[in-house]
Chain A
Amino acid sequence: MRAAFKKVWNRGDGFIWLAGAGLSLSLIMTAALLLAIFFNAAQFFWPGETVKLFVEDGRAILGEITGREDIPNPDNPEAPLKYRVQVKQGNRDIHGTDFLWVEESSIKATQLPQDAVVVERREWGNFYGFIKEVRDQGNVLAQGAEKGMKILEELIPVSNDNINAIQKIARKNIGAVNFYMEKNRLELKKLKLEGIDNGKAVEKLRMENDELQNEYKTFEAQLAELRKSQTAEAVFTTINGVEKVIPLSQIIRIYSPNNFGWFDKINFFLVKGWEFISDEPREANTEGGVFPAIFGTVLMVMIMSLMATPLGVLAAFYLREYARQGAMVSAVRIAVNNLAGVPSIVFGVFGVGFFIYFIGGSIDSFFFSEALPTPTYGTGGILWASLTMALLTVPVVIVSTEEGLASVSGGIREASFAVGATKFETTWRVVLPAVMPSILTGLILAMARAAGEVAPLMITGVVKLAPTLPIDGIWPFLHLERKFMHLGFHIYDVGFQSPNVDAARPMVFTTTLLLIGIVLLLNFTAVILRNRLRKKLAVSGV
């Protein structure tokens, strides 16, 4: 028996099956995870039908069915299972909540009313109901569902353009004026701290300030004008007959999904998907897009790469090429490897203590003392977050660069020396190019880790909602001291800190999908670059 087992074992078939099973299991689990995320995320943009439910107690509910689950009945486990459905009824300003659970057995009838519309609002979430009329300063422009829809489809793009114009002035022009005014104020304060109260410099600054004030007033006037020009409003009725007046400036889009054909649905899906990628979040991050988070994530990863790669490569070169191999270098190498296993939050705490308080605080007291006690660099920002991440990922770069260096054959080094190159020339012109693919491998791993890490960022500069991007049109364009948004943190915030959990849950999936997509994209770019290099270095593995 034992001999027979031994024979089978030695033949190795069992091992092959075991190895195969291990691989399949990992692949299946990964694929299942990705598929679950993908389907849940895709549903979020797909327009659901607006259903009218008649419930036993005489209520009528209008909304979208978003979930179904069985009702646990521990007292009587033998009884047939009962189900309840989750309905998104919207109208938060009227009902108080967006979502409602209805027992399935209590639903007497369902209908798909053709005239039901969904109104996406800038505030208070979706409105579900019926168009009564559209009016402008007391004049009725249209009445009823069909005509109302037609005129709204004409008016809403105009009002959206108007809102965009208003936002542009508010954010770009007035933002710039505010920025320069603050700068002006700080310069005045600086002069005051130096004991200069009057004179040419102060006069000049005051004049500039007045000019800025005038500019501000001009923009304010423009804004008021634009706001006044929006007077149209639409009157809706809810399923219960309550009338609701919504100004057009509050409406982002209006649609009646029950009339949608396939083409309309796909179009809607794409428009919503694009909005998610390109827009800013609204309503405590539960609506709108995640553009600032995408931007912050990518920028943070890039700054991190710029810091971590040279540092890691230099360290690896010293360790492998210049340091005298011995106990000391071995100890350093082990320490570097272990550094990769330190919990990320520890790096975060270090970042706060060293980068923010010590370095940032010193920068503030030397260069931005006029702004104190408001910190400039002495608080979390994208620079400190990136530096913390660079520290976290530098071991990965060191390890893979070192492995690359070890695999560069001694032969080509000798060959370089033999034509008269110095050690530096050899390192720079022969070894570095040969080790480039390994450096890129390290960079890929580092980027994947940095993009997915959240804990250290939470304390070094990520915020729930950043008012401005770290890059804008105001000199010096890249504002490294600014706080930023990050997709990983966004997932945490939307999924677990949101006041409206049910509304936000689908966004967790979409944001996750996006984060995975961005990591893949960054990696893919680096992989292509690496393959190109490899191709240039060697055609085959001869």
Chain B
Amino acid sequence: MAIIKLRSGNQDMENYKVEKKVENRVPSNEMAHLKLKGLGNPMVEIENLNFFYGEKKALNNINMIIPKHQVTAFIGPSGCGKSTLLRCLNRMNDLVESARMEGAIRIGGRDLHQESENVSVLRKRVGMVFQKFNPFPKTIFENVAYGPKIHGLKNKAKLEEIVENSLKSVALWDEVKDRLNESALALSGGQQQRLCIARAIAVEPEVLLMDEPCSALDPLSTGKIEELVVGLKENYTIVIVTHNMQQAARIADFTGFMLLGDLVEFGPTDRMFTKPNKKETEDYITGRFG
């Protein structure tokens, strides 16, 4: 009887259970502190995560909680595993042969690797924006409508509405509304990247992953994207990987510093940049290496 009740999907009950578990398994003063501040509503929980490319270990026992509706940044030198960690969150690493994962990742309380998890559904919940802007060689409209169409939406009016809303949320609508049927590749770099963000949010994900979204853009476009990211956190939980520490300082609420596959330190951005707990973090932030 009790089991049936649990399975019937009482949302509050499940959430409660998850929170309970998290508190048990990740004894973190930092987290407790966050909870006190009311920010600690967890969206993504990563637990004892190890990741391998063949024999090579890329991530080493990562534990962290990414809070809901906040911007979380991963910083660190090249090759520290921050992109790998990001790609674990929507199982993009499945595409890499010989990649192997241990440990658990839960998003909104659901384990990514449980058998019933459909990767297509997962990626609808966890969108992604890439380093090199990669619009499809299709029209602007088709680019944004692609995701909803893939998930079975055929109603044209509804599609148009989604495209308009998505483009409005990335502040691109006014620039392209008259040429929705032109090729997306005719847009400028910054516009293309914003289009890619619109494409990702058109399927209404819960989490939006961004892998160095500004590294191929000029400062002006970078500024626009950053503004956008801060605005988007109202509706989405954003995880961003960046090379640029100033960027992390400007937009992120939480920052994780990674080094050689370890999560060295994770906490609120202000504190990380002003009073880092670890020596390595301080060295990196003050530019002594990396």
Contacts and interface: CB of A to CB of B under 8 A. Distances in A.
Interface of A: 409, 411-412, 414-422, 425, 429-430, 433-434, 535-540, 542
Interface string B165-206: 000000000000000001101100000000010011011000
B123 interface: yes
Interface stretch (B60-68, B144-152, B153-161, B282-290): B144-152
30 contacts: A409-B134, A411-B130, A411-B134, A412-B136, A412-B137, A414-B92, A415-B128, A415-B199, A416-B136, A416-B150, A418-B90, A418-B123, A418-B127, A418-B128, A419-B123, A419-B150, A419-B203, A420-B119, A420-B147, A420-B150, A420-B203, A421-B147, A430-B136, A434-B136, A535-B183, A536-B183, A537-B138, A538-B137, A538-B183, A539-B183
A419 B134 contact: no
A433 B147 contact: no
Contact of A415 (B119, B120, B130): B130
Given A415-B134, A416-B146, A430-B138, 12 more contacts: A412-B136, A412-B137, A414-B95, A415-B136, A416-B136, A419-B127, A419-B146, A420-B123, A420-B150, A421-B146, A434-B136, A542-B186
Contacts of B130: 411, 414-415, 418
A418 B138 contact: no
B57 interface: no
A420 B121 CA distance: 6
B186 A422 contact: no
Nearest to A325: B97
A414 B123 CA distance: 11
B106 to A, nearest CB: 19
Nearest to B126: A418
B113 interface: no
Contacts of B196: 415
A412 B134 contact: yes
A538 B186 contact: yes
The A interface is mostly helix, strand or loop, or mixed, namely: helix
Nearest to B97: A324
A423 to B, nearest CB: 9
Contact of B183 (A411, A416, A425, A537): A537
A419 B223 CA distance: 25
B82 interface: no
Contacts of A433: 137-138
B69 interface: no
Given A422-B120, A430-B136, A433-B138, A417 B95 contact: yes
Interface string B108-130: 00000000000111111001101
Contacts of B146: 416, 419, 421, 429-430
Contacts, number: 87
Contacts of A418: 90, 92, 123, 127-128, 130, 200
Of residues A419, A539, A540, which shows the largest number of chain B Cβ atoms within 10 Å of its Cβ?
A: A419
Contacts of A434: 136-137
Contacts of A540: 185-186
B233 interface: no
A537 B150 contact: no
B208 to A, nearest CB: 10
A518 B182 CA distance: 34
A360 to B, nearest CB: 43
A537 B185 contact: yes
A434 B184 CA distance: 13
Contacts of B119: 420
Interface size range of chain B in the complex: 20 to 34
A363 B127 CA distance: 55
A53 B85 CA distance: 97
B85 to A, nearest CB: 16
Contacts of A539: 182-183, 185-186
B132 interface: yes
Contacts of B199: 415, 419
A535 B136 CA distance: 14
A18 B137 CA distance: 39
A-B pairs with the 10 shortest C-beta distances?
Answer: A411-B134, A419-B147, A539-B186, A418-B128, A537-B137, A538-B185, A420-B123, A420-B124, A420-B120, A415-B134
A415 B192 CA distance: 13
Contacts of B132: 411
Contact of B134 (A414, A421, A538): A414
A421 B139 CA distance: 18
Of residues A415, A416, A418, which shows the largest number of chain B Cβ atoms within 10 Å of its Cβ?
A: A418
A417 B130 CA distance: 12
Given A412-B136, A414-B130, A415-B199, A420 B151 contact: yes
Interface string B27-52: 00000000000000000000000000
B120 A421 contact: yes
Nearest to A421: B150
A67 to B, nearest CB: 58
Contacts of A411: 130, 132, 134
Contacts of B121: 420
A508 B128 CA distance: 64
B5 to A, nearest CB: 31
Contacts of A536: 139, 183
B150 A425 contact: yes
Nearest to B192: A542
A421 B138 CA distance: 16
Contacts of A420: 119-124, 147, 150-151, 203
A48 B65 CA distance: 95
B176 to A, nearest CB: 13
Contacts of A416: 136, 146, 150
A430 B186 CA distance: 17
Nearest to B187: A542
Nearest to A410: B134
Contacts of B138: 430, 433, 537
Given A420-B120, A420-B124, A542 B185 contact: yes
Contact of B92 (A412, A417, A429, A542): A417
A417 to B, nearest CB: 7
Contacts of B183: 535-539
B107 to A, nearest CB: 14
Contacts of B122: 420
Nearest to B120: A420
B195 to A, nearest CB: 11
Contacts of B185: 537-540, 542
Nearest to A411: B134
Nearest to A537: B137
B102 to A, nearest CB: 23
A420 B186 CA distance: 25
Nearest to A538: B185
B200 A419 contact: yes
A532 to B, nearest CB: 12
A417 B137 contact: no
Contacts of B136: 412, 415-416, 430, 434
